[in-house]
Amino acid sequence: DTGVSQDPRHKITKRGQNVTFRCDPISEHNRLYWYRQTLGQGPEFLTYFQNEAQLEKSRLLSDRFSAERPKGSFSTLEIQRTEQGDSAMYLCASSWLNQPQHFGDGTRLSIL
Protein backbone atom coordinates (compact mmCIF):
# COMPACT_ATOMS: atom_id res chain seq x y z
CA ASP A 1 0.00 0.00 0.00
CA THR A 2 1.82 3.05 -1.29
CA GLY A 3 -1.00 5.45 -0.47
CA VAL A 4 -2.72 7.95 -2.72
CA SER A 5 -0.30 9.77 -4.99
CA GLN A 6 -0.91 13.15 -6.59
CA ASP A 7 1.11 14.99 -9.19
CA PRO A 8 2.26 17.70 -9.34
CA ARG A 9 2.54 18.86 -5.72
CA HIS A 10 2.52 22.49 -6.77
CA LYS A 11 1.38 24.25 -9.92
CA ILE A 12 1.78 27.93 -10.68
CA THR A 13 0.14 29.20 -13.82
CA LYS A 14 -1.12 32.37 -15.43
CA ARG A 15 -4.77 33.22 -15.51
CA GLY A 16 -6.44 31.79 -18.60
CA GLN A 17 -4.15 28.77 -18.93
CA ASN A 18 -5.30 25.17 -18.71
CA VAL A 19 -3.97 22.85 -16.02
CA THR A 20 -4.22 19.10 -15.46
CA PHE A 21 -3.65 17.18 -12.25
CA ARG A 22 -3.19 13.46 -11.81
CA CYS A 23 -4.20 11.17 -8.98
CA ASP A 24 -3.15 7.55 -8.48
CA PRO A 25 -5.38 5.91 -5.87
CA ILE A 26 -4.62 2.97 -3.61
CA SER A 27 -4.66 0.08 -6.08
CA GLU A 28 -7.43 -1.99 -4.53
CA HIS A 29 -9.78 0.97 -4.08
CA ASN A 30 -12.70 1.25 -6.51
CA ARG A 31 -13.81 4.78 -5.56
CA LEU A 32 -11.89 7.94 -6.28
CA TYR A 33 -12.88 11.41 -5.08
CA TRP A 34 -11.75 14.94 -5.89
CA TYR A 35 -12.07 17.71 -3.32
CA ARG A 36 -10.96 21.33 -3.23
CA GLN A 37 -9.71 23.00 -0.07
CA THR A 38 -9.08 26.68 0.56
CA LEU A 39 -7.35 28.20 3.57
CA GLY A 40 -9.32 27.83 6.78
CA GLN A 41 -11.98 25.62 5.23
CA GLY A 42 -12.72 21.93 5.11
CA PRO A 43 -12.39 19.96 1.88
CA GLU A 44 -15.24 20.69 -0.55
CA PHE A 45 -16.51 17.82 -2.72
CA LEU A 46 -16.04 18.19 -6.47
CA THR A 47 -16.72 14.80 -8.04
CA TYR A 48 -16.28 11.06 -7.59
CA PHE A 49 -15.87 7.88 -9.60
CA GLN A 50 -16.68 4.29 -8.93
CA ASN A 51 -14.37 2.33 -11.17
CA GLU A 52 -14.43 4.27 -14.48
CA ALA A 53 -17.92 5.72 -14.04
CA GLN A 54 -18.27 9.31 -12.86
CA LEU A 55 -21.24 9.03 -10.53
CA GLU A 56 -21.61 12.53 -9.14
CA LYS A 57 -20.45 16.06 -9.82
CA SER A 58 -20.90 18.99 -7.49
CA ARG A 59 -23.31 21.66 -8.72
CA LEU A 60 -20.58 24.11 -7.78
CA LEU A 61 -18.31 22.63 -10.44
CA SER A 62 -18.29 24.88 -13.47
CA ASP A 63 -18.05 23.64 -17.04
CA ARG A 64 -14.37 24.58 -17.00
CA PHE A 65 -13.68 21.58 -14.77
CA SER A 66 -13.57 18.05 -16.13
CA ALA A 67 -12.41 14.82 -14.60
CA GLU A 68 -11.73 11.41 -16.07
CA ARG A 69 -10.85 7.95 -14.85
CA PRO A 70 -10.62 6.09 -18.15
CA LYS A 71 -9.49 2.67 -16.97
CA GLY A 72 -10.79 2.78 -13.44
CA SER A 73 -7.32 3.33 -12.04
CA PHE A 74 -5.70 6.79 -12.10
CA SER A 75 -7.74 9.94 -12.60
CA THR A 76 -7.09 13.36 -14.08
CA LEU A 77 -8.71 16.67 -13.21
CA GLU A 78 -8.47 19.41 -15.82
CA ILE A 79 -9.29 23.06 -15.31
CA GLN A 80 -9.65 25.12 -18.47
CA ARG A 81 -9.21 28.90 -18.68
CA THR A 82 -8.10 29.18 -15.06
CA GLU A 83 -9.35 32.06 -12.95
CA GLN A 84 -8.01 33.65 -9.75
CA GLY A 85 -10.73 31.94 -7.76
CA ASP A 86 -9.42 28.52 -8.79
CA SER A 87 -6.41 28.96 -6.51
CA ALA A 88 -6.72 26.21 -3.90
CA MET A 89 -5.44 22.83 -2.78
CA TYR A 90 -6.91 20.05 -4.91
CA LEU A 91 -7.17 16.83 -2.92
CA CYS A 92 -7.74 13.34 -4.22
CA ALA A 93 -9.02 10.52 -2.02
CA SER A 94 -9.81 6.86 -2.60
CA SER A 95 -11.77 4.18 -0.81
CA TRP A 96 -13.29 0.75 -1.21
CA LEU A 97 -17.01 1.54 -1.55
CA ASN A 98 -18.18 3.44 1.57
CA GLN A 99 -15.11 2.62 3.65
CA PRO A 100 -13.14 5.59 5.07
CA GLN A 101 -11.35 7.71 2.50
CA HIS A 102 -7.57 7.97 2.21
CA PHE A 103 -6.30 11.31 1.00
CA GLY A 104 -3.27 12.20 -1.07
CA ASP A 105 -0.96 15.11 -0.31
CA GLY A 106 -2.82 17.31 -2.77
CA THR A 107 -1.85 19.65 -5.60
CA ARG A 108 -1.56 23.29 -4.64
CA LEU A 109 -2.66 25.52 -7.52
CA SER A 110 -1.65 29.17 -7.62
CA ILE A 111 -3.03 31.46 -10.32
CA LEU A 112 -0.93 34.52 -11.13
Please report whether residue 105 would count as binding another protein according to CB under 8 A: yes
Query: Judged by CB under 8 A, which stretch of 10-18, 35-43, 61-69, 78-86 contacts another protein?
Result: 35-43
Q: How far is CA 78 from CA 1, 21, 81, 100, in A?
A: 26, 6, 10, 25
Tell me which stretch binds another protein (CB under 8 A): 15-23, 40-48, 67-75, 78-86. 40-48
Shortest distance, position 34 Cβ to another protein, whole Å: 11
Q: Which parts of 51-70 interact with another protein (CB under 8 A)?
A: 55-56
**Residue closer to another protein, measured from CB, 10 or 81:** 10
CB atoms under 10 Å from CB of 21, counted, come to 20
Using CB under 8 A, pick the residue from 11, 43, 77, 82 that binds another protein: 43
CB of 26 to another protein, least distance (A): 12
Please state, in angstroms and as integers, the Cα–Cα distance from residue 72 to each residue in 28, 61, 81, 97, following that order.
11, 21, 27, 13
d(Cα 103, Cα 82) in Å, to the nearest integer?
24
The rounded distance, in Å, linking the Cα atoms of 16 and 105 is: 25
**Cβ contact 52:42 at 8 Å:** no
Residues that bind another protein (CB under 8 A): 31, 33, 40-45, 48, 50, 55-56, 91, 95, 97-98, 100-106
